[in-house]
């Protein structure tokens, strides 16, 4: 299994500012993902964080709004840019391996509130 | 595009009852079907993973089944306990998952 930590665990931010969320894994993993969970909703995949190349974004999500870095196989960051109240959500990092039989593991999440 | 639906949205049962949570998906060409548990204010905990070639998985009081032909998966919880109270999510996919809408379970002592 993989142990995943996220920082910060929660934050309250002002409209128009940006927040960078960090995800740290205790072992090297091939696949890292960022999800968003809006209030009362299920999880939606934002992007796949690729090591050494640009992230792959899902429909409805763009790099300018959610820039992602993946400098190595154990760490990734997600920035929520130019925030609005609609960005208030829980942001979760997850990891999985190359083998499709791998369980996907999730971090504890970052609860973001935008005023 | 795969869509995943869970019924019921919420469920309240007395302690000790056996219960079934349902998950439906539209694309039968799924690879993995994974069940997660989410406690309030916390991340997701993986409960059971069923690969496409499998029909069920068991862990303790939990049993998950997968019927690709009907587009359904069920999570069976035996002898429910108050500690089982949480939101249960099913997710379909390979490396990236599409999540269901979740079932909020409350087990009453």
Inform me whether the pLDDT recorded for A101 exceeds 60: no
Whole-number Å distance between alpha carbons of A7 and A69? 15
Instruction: Using CB atoms, pick whichever of A31, A108, A109 lies closest to residue B95.
Output: A31
Total beta-carbon pairs less than 8 A apart between chain A and chain B? 53
DSSP string, B37-93: EE-TTS-EEEEEEEETT-SEEEETTEEEEEETTTTEEEEEE-S--GGG-EEEEEEEE
Q: Is B100 on the interface with A (CB under 8 A)?
A: yes
Cα–Cα distance list, A59 to A18, A39, B17 (Å): 21, 20, 41
Q: Between chains, do A44 and B99 touch, taking CB under 8 Å as contact?
A: yes
Q: How many residues does chain B have?
A: 109
> Quick check: A93 and A43 in contact, CB under 8 A?
no
Q: Which two tokens stand for residue B57?
A: 């998985």
Strand A75-80 versus strand B4-7 pairing type: unpaired
pLDDT for the residue numbered A2: 81
For CA atoms A81, A73, B91, A110, give the dihedral sign.
Answer: negative
> Quick check: A21 and A91 in contact, CB under 8 A?
yes
Provide the pLDDT confidence category of residue A100 given band limits of 50, 70 and 90.
low
* Residue-wise pLDDT tens digits, A34-67: 999 998 888 999 999 988 888 999 999 999 999 9
Instruction: Give the mean model confidence (pLDDT) for residues A96-114.
Output: 80
Instruction: Using CB atoms, pick whichever of A105, A107, A108 lies closest to residue B46.
Output: A105
Whole-number Å distance between alpha carbons of B101 and A41? 7
Whole-number Å distance between alpha carbons of B32 and A61? 24
Q: Considering only CB atoms, which chain A residues are within 8 Å of B50?
A: none
Q: Between chains, do B42 and A45 touch, taking CB under 8 Å as contact?
A: no
Chain A residues 82-101 with a CB less than 8 Å from chain B: 92, 94, 96, 100-101
Q: How confident is the prediction along chain B (109 residues), in pLDDT tens digits per residue? A: 788 999 999 999 999 999 999 999 988 777 789 999 999 877 889 899 998 888 999 999 999 999 988 999 999 999 999 999 999 999 988 777 899 989 999 999 9
pLDDT for the residue numbered A114: 97
Instruction: Using CB atoms, pick whichever of B32, B43, B49 lies closest to residue A106.
Output: B43
């Amino acid at each position: 299994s993989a142990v995943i930590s996220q920082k910060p665990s929660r934050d309250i931010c002002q409209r128009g500012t940006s927040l960078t969320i960090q995800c740290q894994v205790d072992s090297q993993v091939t696949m890292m993902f960022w999800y968003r969970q809006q209030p009362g909703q299920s999880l939606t995949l934002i992007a796949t964080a690729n090591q050494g190349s640009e992230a792959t974004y899902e429909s409805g999500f763009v790099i300018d709004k959610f820039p992602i870095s993946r400098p190595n196989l154990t760490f990734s960051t997600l920035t929520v840019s130019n925030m609005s109240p609609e960005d208030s959500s829980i942001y979760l990092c997850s990891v999985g391996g190359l083998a499709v039989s791998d369980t996907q593991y999730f971090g504890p999440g970052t609860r973001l509130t935008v005023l | 595009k795969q869509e995943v639906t869970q019924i019921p949205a919420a469920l309240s049962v007395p302690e000790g009852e056996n219960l079934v949570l349902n998950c439906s998906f539209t694309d039968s060409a799924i690879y993995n079907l994974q069940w997660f548990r989410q406690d309030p204010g916390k991340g997701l905990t993986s409960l059971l993973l069923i690969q496409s070639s499998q029909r069920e998985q068991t862990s303790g009081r939990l049993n998950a089944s997968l019927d690709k032909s009907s587009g359904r998966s069920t999570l069976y919880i035996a002898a429910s306990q108050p500690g089982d109270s949480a939101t249960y999510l099913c997710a379909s996919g390979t490396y990236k998952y599409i999540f269901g809408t979740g079932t909020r379970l409350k087990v009453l002592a």
